[in-house]
Amino acid sequence: MRASRSLIFLLPVISGALVLTPLIATGGDARFPTTRTDLNPKDRRRVEAVTKFTTDFTKPEQFEPMAGGAATSRAIVNGDAFSHFSANLSFEEEQTFKLGNALFKKLWVPPPSSTQASDGLGPLFNARACQSCHLKDGRGHPPEGSADATSMFLRLARPARTEDERKAVADHRKLNFPDSVYGEQLQNLAVQGLKIEGKMQVSYQEIPVTLAGGEIAHLRKPTYSATDLGYGPLESDVTRSPRVAPPMIGLGLIQAIHEADILAKADPADQDGDGISGKPALTRDHRTGDLKLGRFGFKAQNATIRDQSSSAFVGDLGISTPDHPSDYGDCTKAEVECLAHPTGVQPRLGAFEAPDPVLPLVTFYSENLAVPARRDVGDKTVLKGKELFYRSGCTACHTPKFVTRRDAGNKAHAFQLIWPYSDFLLHDMGEGLADGQQVGVADGREWRTQPLWGIGLTETVNGHTFFLHDGRARNLTEAILWHGGEAQMARDAFAALPKDERAALITFLESL
Ligand code: HEC
Ligand code: HEC
């Protein structure tokens, strides 16, 4: 407890110091701007002032209810809470959003079909629509006893084996290497007449954990396997990383956070000695090959929403786009039966199964789902819980607020005070959460800090409270108790709180 108490006093000082000494903070990486290039000195000072961590927990902060700035949705809270467009879109943009929405929901069909514009699914796939996994624009869930693992899958990858491969990873040209037969993920569905690759199986073991005051919580430790393999065994050094579809809200705003603000929190070698490093994910833009800061996906492996979306088209649905022209999706050369199936390319419509403007429309949609307004920001228990969240050291990774860049491509995302509660950096989360899979600069124990905005509406939107990258946590308390590694101190601080204070911290999370 003592250690965590000192954190709150340290943190504002630390982040202030990092801004002043950006070279130390980023490990001297000269490839990215270390100060905000979009602001004049006066605005920079304003931004620094408004994003400073609060020390007053007696009342809400200014603009705190508007978690997504002017883009925040103030719609009545119901099951559609994650499906509204950003409140500050223009009328024309609303129309584009709606076209993108239709494509996000669209059920693709295998070729050849009579509904030619929907052709292209597969031959191997994990779902028929984006929305099948990003249920109601919210999160997926583990199978929970049913055979339906639709909103979740196993990513397959092996580390570099040769000097050349190691160089490719070091140079960020490759994140890792696919299984030579199964490719980058295990597809549990296939078009008619083709064998599926296999099924993800999970079994759980209950582990009791004693919290302060004697309360006993139970964590369920998952074990994953790939069964019913259709094409022989996986390669022996291939790891299986389980991933549940995350919520889709506020992504355009995350994309509009300035690199310098994310890098200012990075401390890969833990030079400030607070036990928390924070590594920036470096990755290449799929279209330009430029080195960028990764932000999307559980290992921050994608720099842009467009890259994440085109990867989803090809990997999850088996649909080619101009950015990923593979009509056979994730089929590999070894899967000859797969490559013998027809593709859904209609030369009349374009050279890809999903020709433009499909990808730009889906990307626009994915960039503009609104973050819902906070509830109960002034409630006494919520404020108490907020104080405990800060005091327990959660803010060392779950950075409360940012001001997005003034020169953001989309005006609706520009210069907004936003409250994502993430630093968008990679952290070692300990053995308990480790998937053993290296993805670019992220090693097998590292994960990107998950944003917490909207987390309190998970049950309202998705009817469950399964959290973390694989949905193993059955509620918020379990999600916190799984934190280890760099987050061990914060986890222990939480576990050491008296029961009513733990409950207050959870009530704060539920108001996000
Ligand atoms: C089979 C399930 C599935 C389907 C279908 C699917 N996704 Fe996803 N989506 C995921 C998972 C799992 C992740 C996390 C990815 C990771 O960490 O590797 C994700 C992540 C994302 C993200 C990044 C979110 C974040 O917080 O970083 C975006 C954007 C996205 N998906 C868009 C799409 C689009 C667009 C489609 C349709 C073309 C789609 N997805 C289809 C499962 C799915
Ligand atoms: C060292 C960095 C770090 C610290 C400190 C930290 N977290 Fe996290 N948090 C993460 C990462 C990384 C994840 C994603 C882990 C995963 O999905 O497996 C996460 C996930 C979560 C989730 C689940 C989010 C979701 O959408 O599934 C919750 C809730 C959460 N953290 C709350 C807290 C609270 C409360 C504290 C303080 C007691 C805290 N965290 C401290 C890094 C941190």
Ligand 2 mean position, distance from CA 398 (Å): 7
Which tokens in the block code for residue 276? 């928390």
Q: Which amino acid is at 369?
A: L
Distance of CA 81 to the CA centre of its chain: 19
Instruction: Pick from 97, 105, 128, 134 the residue to mutate for probing ligand 1's pocket: most ligand atoms within 8 Å of its CB.
Output: 134
Rounded distance between C-alpha atoms, residue 186 and residue 226, angstroms: 8
What is the CB neighbour count within 10 angstroms for residue 95? 11
Vertex 352 angle, CA 351 and 358, to 5°:
120
Residue nearest to atom 5 of ligand 1 (CA): 130
What is the CB neighbour count within 10 angstroms for residue 157? 22
Rounded distance between C-alpha atoms, residue 222 and residue 207, angstroms: 11
139 Cβ contact partners less than 8 Å away, ≥ 6 residues apart: 151, 244, 245, 246, 247, 458, 462, 466, 471
Model-level pTM?
Answer: 0.94
Rounded distance between C-alpha atoms, residue 20 and residue 34, angstroms: 10
Residue nearest to atom 38 of ligand 1 (CA): 313
Ligand 1 mean position, distance from CA 79 (Å): 20
Residue 221's SS3 state is strand
Sign of the CA dihedral running 35, 454, 466, 476: positive
Rounded distance between C-alpha atoms, residue 178 and residue 158, angstroms: 6
Quote the pLDDT of residue 13.
Answer: 34
Quote the pLDDT of residue 115.
Answer: 67
Sign of the CA dihedral running 175, 181, 185, 190: positive
Q: Which amino acid is at 382?
A: V
Evaluate: CB of 424 within 6 angstroms of ligand 2: no
Q: Which of 57, 54, 245 is nearest to 133 (CA)?
A: 245
Residue 20's SS3 state is helix
Evaluate: CB of 313 within 6 angstroms of ligand 1: yes
Residue nearest to atom 20 of ligand 2 (CA): 450
Q: How deeply is 280 buried, as exposed, middle or buried, from its count of CB atoms within 10 A (0-12, 13-18, 19+)?
A: buried
**Is residue 14 a contact partner of residue 274, using CB atoms and an 8 Å limit?**
yes
Quote the pLDDT of residue 119.
Answer: 83
Which tokens in the block code for residue 500? 């009513």
Instruction: Pick from 101, 187, 308 the residue to mutate for probing ligand 1's pocket: most ligand atoms within 8 Å of its CB.
Output: 308
Q: Spell out the per-residue pLDDT of the chain, length 512, in tens.
A: 333 333 333 333 333 333 333 333 344 456 788 899 999 999 999 999 999 999 999 999 999 999 999 999 999 999 999 999 999 999 999 999 999 999 999 999 998 876 667 789 999 999 999 999 999 999 999 998 776 667 999 999 999 999 999 999 999 999 999 999 999 999 999 999 999 999 999 999 999 999 999 999 999 999 999 999 999 999 999 999 999 999 999 999 999 999 999 999 999 888 988 899 999 999 999 999 999 999 999 999 999 999 999 999 999 999 999 999 999 999 999 999 999 998 999 888 889 999 999 999 999 999 999 999 999 999 999 999 999 999 999 999 999 999 999 999 999 999 999 999 999 999 999 999 999 999 999 999 999 999 999 999 999 999 999 999 999 999 999 999 999 999 999 999 999 999 999 999 999 999 99
**Is residue 26 a contact partner of residue 20, using CB atoms and an 8 Å limit?**
no
Evaluate: CB of 263 within 6 angstroms of ligand 1: no
**Is residue 464 a contact partner of residue 143, using CB atoms and an 8 Å limit?**
no
Residue with tokens 């200014």: 62
Rounded distance between C-alpha atoms, residue 496 and residue 501, angstroms: 10
For residue 5, give the DSSP letter: H
Could you tell me which residues are beta bridge partners of residue 218? 208
Quote the pLDDT of residue 318.
Answer: 97
The most distant pair of C-alpha atoms in the chain lies apart, rounded to whole Å, by: 69
Strands 281-284 and 291-294: antiparallel
Ligand 1 mean position, distance from CA 126 (Å): 11
* Domain-wise residue ranges, the chain: 1-512
Residue nearest to atom 30 of ligand 2 (CA): 480
Q: Which amino acid is at 421?
A: Y
**Phi, then psi, of 455 in degrees rounded to 5:** -60, -30
Evaluate: CB of 309 within 6 angstroms of ligand 1: yes
Torsion, CA 479, CA 480, CA 486, CA 490, rounded to 10: 170
Quote the pLDDT of residue 148.
Answer: 63
Could you tell me which residues are beta bridge partners of residue 240? 156
Q: How deeply is 218 buried, as exposed, middle or buried, from its count of CB atoms within 10 A (0-12, 13-18, 19+)?
A: exposed
Q: Which amino acid is at 188?
A: N
Rounded distance between C-alpha atoms, residue 104 and residue 214, angstroms: 47
**Is residue 270 a contact partner of residue 276, using CB atoms and an 8 Å limit?**
yes
Quote the pLDDT of residue 19.
Answer: 35
Quote the pLDDT of residue 349.
Answer: 87
Evaluate: CB of 399 within 6 angstroms of ligand 1: no
Length of the chain: 512
Evaluate: CB of 279 within 6 angstroms of ligand 2: no
Evaluate: CB of 437 within 6 angstroms of ligand 1: no
Residue 473's SS3 state is strand
Ligand nearest to the CA of 471: 2
Residue with tokens 């079909």: 113
Evaluate: CB of 321 within 6 angstroms of ligand 1: no
Evaluate: CB of 186 within 6 angstroms of ligand 1: no
Rounded distance between C-alpha atoms, residue 68 and residue 48, angstroms: 18
**Is residue 247 a contact partner of residue 134, using CB atoms and an 8 Å limit?**
yes
Which tokens in the block code for residue 231? 């094409």
Evaluate: CB of 187 within 6 angstroms of ligand 1: no
Q: Which amino acid is at 32?
A: F
Which tokens in the block code for residue 482? 């799984």
Instruction: Pick from 99, 296, 321 the residue to mutate for probing ligand 1's pocket: most ligand atoms within 8 Å of its CB.
Output: 296
Residue 150's SS3 state is coil
